[in-house]
Amino acid sequence: MVEPERRADGKTEHSLTVFLTGAECPFTCSFCDLWRYTIEGPTPVGALPHQLQQVLETVGGAADRIKLYNASNFFDSRAVPAADLPAIASLIARFPAVTVESHANLIGAHTLEFAGLIDGRLEVAVGLETIHPTALAQANKRLDLDRFDRAASFLLANDIDLRVFVLLGAPYVPTEESIEWTVRSVEYAVERGASLVSIIPVRDGNGELERLGALGDFIPPTLSQLENALDRCTRITRSVVTADLWDVQRLAACDDCRHQRIERLRRANFTGVVGPRVECPSCAPL
């Protein structure tokens, strides 16, 4: 996937995102369904460089950044064999910037090793998810705020950029408080040096969320909630805050104005400016 992306310095980058297939993440977070895109057992040595080479041979043209997303943790040697790091670094040598994803608990020596191998500037995407104390504790993520803070400080101290994922509609957050906790979580990430924060609406369908929904502990977020959360975050100027629009069509919304409202979010992601809210005479906001 190739798409433009606004950065904190006001410039627009063109990013090539490569979705790699490998071992499943060991952290079984209640809100996650990325295990669907992984394999049983460890990633075979050579598999990731082979996939990456195929993509780079197929996708022509230059990009300012390459994102290597493996539905797991880049710094987990079971998911990304250490023996493959030099080959991966060689394949992406032409990119000025590189983004990978990792759980905060796995950021450390392997992170510095990879940063030293690549020619481009490294950015690590980390899931903070929420700072709501109950929701974070119940997410089965095995993460607390102190550990996130240490990972963020480690990255910044080693001149590595930090990208953060924050959830909208996290389980155990009352729906009437969902927007407030999302905004507070975004602000927390920015205060700890995140140059980009992506608001990700939680999407059901992984089985666990259906179970939590039956217990009253999870209500899927709506398109209006995503709009409200992003609108409130536009006052943040030290970082780029965007709404994740992957599968956004699944969010509850009026069919008559859904497309216009999604396009408004898309423009806000790209420009940093939210336009007037869409007025639709045929619906109440969902």
Residue 202: per-residue pLDDT: 95
**pLDDT beyond 80 at 272:** yes
Mean pLDDT of all residues in the chain?
A: 93
Asked if pLDDT for residue 195 goes beyond 80, the answer is yes
Rounded to the nearest 5 degrees, what angle is found at the Cα of 215, between the Cα atoms of 213 and 220? 20
83 backbone dihedrals φ, ψ, rounded to 5°: -65, -20
Tokens representing residue 79 in the block: 């998911």
* Radius of gyration of the chain measured on its C-alpha atoms: 19
List the structure tokens of 185: 């979580």
Whole-number pLDDT of residue 285: 58
170, pLDDT greater than 90: yes
Instruction: Select from 137, 217, 133 the least CA-distant residue to 169.
Output: 217
For 167, 199, 240, 269, 277, the CA distances from 273, given in Å and listed in that order, are 21, 16, 11, 8, 12
Average pLDDT score over residue span 155-174: 97
pLDDT digits 0-9 by tens, 209-267: 899 999 999 999 999 999 999 999 988 989 999 999 999 999 999 999 999 999 999 99
Domains and CATH numbers, the chain: 2-271 (3.20.20.70)
The tokens 């939590």 sit on which residue? 212
Cα separation, 2 vs 183, in Å, equals 28
Average pLDDT over residues 268-274: 91
Residues 210/248, Cβ–Cβ less than 8 Å: no
**Which among 117, 139, 24, 122 has a CA at the least distance from the CA of 70?**
24
DSSP string spanning 121-133? EEEEEEEEE---H
The Cα 22–Cα 150 span in angstroms is 27
Average pLDDT of 257-281?
A: 93
- The pLDDT of residue 107 is above 70: yes
Does pLDDT of 157 surpass 90?
yes
**Mean predicted confidence (pLDDT) in 140-149:** 94
Distance CA 97, CA 89 (A): 12
pLDDT band at 36 (very low <50, low <70, confident <90, very high): confident
Classify 245 as helix, strand or coil.
Answer: coil
Instruction: Look at residue 177 in the predicted model and tell me its pLDDT.
Output: 97
Dist CA 210 CA 216 (whole Å): 10
Predicted TM-score of the model (pTM): 0.94
CB atoms within 10 A of CB 88: 23
The stretch 80-101 carries a mean pLDDT of 97
Query: Residues, the chain, total?
Result: 286
286: pLDDT confidence band, cut at 50, 70 and 90?
A: low
Question: Could you give the CA distance from residue 172 to residue 271 in angstroms, rounded to a whole number?
Answer: 33
pLDDT > 80? residue 189: yes
Instruction: Kindly indicate the confidence band of residue 284, based on its pLDDT and cuts at 50, 70 and 90.
Output: low
The confidence score (pLDDT) of residue 28 equals 78
Residues 140-145 have a mean pLDDT of: 91
Choice between 37 and 181, residue whose per-residue pLDDT is larger: 181
Interior angle at CA 244, CA 61 and CA 170, nearest 5: 150
